[in-house]
């Protein structure tokens, strides 16, 4: 290949990140990383039903190696940043490409969940920031003193405040809608679209997202109803 052909190719072919497909793959892979974290985090948090000793021991285990903890945190932060950047850039690109009179047809064709992706995402992000300030940093802790290392106390005290629980339940329902759509569209993003399998995938996504969210929501509800004290 001559130098001028290489130059022309470089000029024409967008890089992986610049291409629409590349951004969709980045969204899918980072979404998958965050999804795995959400499952792992749920399994850990369900230990709240095993009592303070086991729940606090689990939290202590997460902090046993600071280097490892920061490696995992860095992967999550990079995943969140790339997920948001790719989403915003794709949305702007779609908006630019779409003719004005197409918007009505688009609204009819797209599902409720897909239309909520753009606003459920920012609310879930706001929830995660609140959550980190409440349970990790302890800067926001309505109702009682934050006790570092006593995560059981922090969670029970936090969810005993009704509006904290209400805010969690609201944000978790949105996370569920976001996950449901994200799970099956992840397959579409990497090019998997099958007439027979896609409807099944959509149903599976609904069941998985509902199970995850019910698991999470059960915690504030159990605290509010006094099941977990």
**What binding mask, one character per residue, do residues 161-190 give for ligand HEM by CB under 6 A, x or -?**
-------x------x---------------
User: Does 120 interact with ligand HEM (rule: CB under 6 A)?
Assistant: no
CA distance 26 to 82: 7
- 45 counts as binding ligand HEM under rule CB under 6 A: yes
* Binding test (CB under 6 A) with ligand HEM, winner from 25, 86, 151, 186: 151
**Residue 212 to residue 215: CA distance in whole angstroms:** 5
d(CA 229, CA 225): 9
Q: Does 58 bind ligand HEM (CB under 6 A)?
A: no
Q: Is 18 in the site for ligand HEM (CB under 6 A)?
A: no
In angstroms, give the least distance from the CB of 159 to ligand HEM. 7
Cα diameter, the chain: 75
Q: Is 59 in the site for ligand HEM (CB under 6 A)?
A: yes
CA distances from 11 to 1, 24, 31, 89, 94 (A): 15, 22, 30, 21, 22
Dist. CA 155–CA 168, nearest whole Å: 12
Which string of DSSP letters, residue by residue, matches 84-135?
A: HHHHHHHHHHHHHHS-GGGHHHHHHHS-HHHHHHHHHHHHHHHHHHHHIIII
Is residue 153 involved in binding ligand HEM (CB under 6 A)? no
Q: Which member of 36, 41, 91, 115 binds ligand HEM (CB under 6 A)?
A: 41
- Number of H helices and number of E strands within the chain? 9, 0
Scanning 21-29, 132-140, 180-188, 199-207 for contacts with ligand HEM by CB under 6 A, the matching segment is 132-140
HSE (CB half, 13 Å, CA atoms) of 89?
16
Q: Is 144 in the site for ligand HEM (CB under 6 A)?
A: no
Q: Is 21 in the site for ligand HEM (CB under 6 A)?
A: no
Q: How many residues bind ligand HEM (CB under 6 A)?
A: 18
Closer CB to ligand HEM, 81 or 132, in the complex: 132
CA dist 140 and 204 (Å) reads 37
Decide if residue 135 touches ligand HEM (CB under 6 A). yes
Least CB distance to ligand HEM at residue 98 (A)? 30
CA–CA gap between residue 214 and residue 208 (Å, rounded): 10
- Residue 130 in contact with ligand HEM, rule: CB under 6 A: no
Smaller CB separation from ligand HEM, 22 or 47:
47
Binding site for ligand HEM (CB under 6 A): 38, 41, 45, 59, 62, 73, 128, 131-132, 135-136, 151, 155, 168, 175, 216, 219-220
């Amino acid at each position: 290949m001559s130098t001028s052909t290489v130059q022309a190719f470089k000029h024409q072919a967008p890089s992986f990140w610049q291409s629409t497909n590349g951004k969709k793959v980045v969204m899918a892979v980072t979404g998958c990383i965050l999804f795995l974290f959400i499952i792992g985090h749920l399994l850990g948090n369900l230990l709240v039903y095993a009592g303070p000793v086991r729940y606090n021991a689990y939290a202590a285990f997460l902090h046993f190696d600071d280097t490892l903890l920061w490696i995992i945190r860095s992967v999550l932060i990079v995943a969140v940043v790339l997920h948001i950047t790719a989403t915003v850039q794709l949305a702007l690109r779609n908006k630019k490409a779409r003719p004005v009179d197409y918007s009505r047809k688009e609204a009819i064709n797209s599902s409720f969940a897909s239309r909520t992706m753009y606003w459920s995402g920012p609310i879930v992000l706001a929830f995660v920031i609140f959550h980190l300030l409440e349970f990790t940093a302890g800067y926001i802790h309505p109702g009682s003193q934050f006790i570092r290392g006593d995560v059981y106390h922090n969670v029970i005290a936090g969810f005993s405040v009704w509006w904290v629980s209400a805010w969690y339940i609201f944000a978790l329902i949105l996370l569920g809608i976001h996950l449901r759509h994200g799970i099956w569209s992840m397959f579409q993003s990497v090019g998997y679209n099958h007439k027979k399998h896609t409807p099944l995938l959509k149903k599976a996504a609904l069941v998985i997202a509902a199970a995850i969210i019910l698991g999470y929501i059960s915690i504030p509800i159990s605290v509010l109803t006094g099941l977990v004290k």
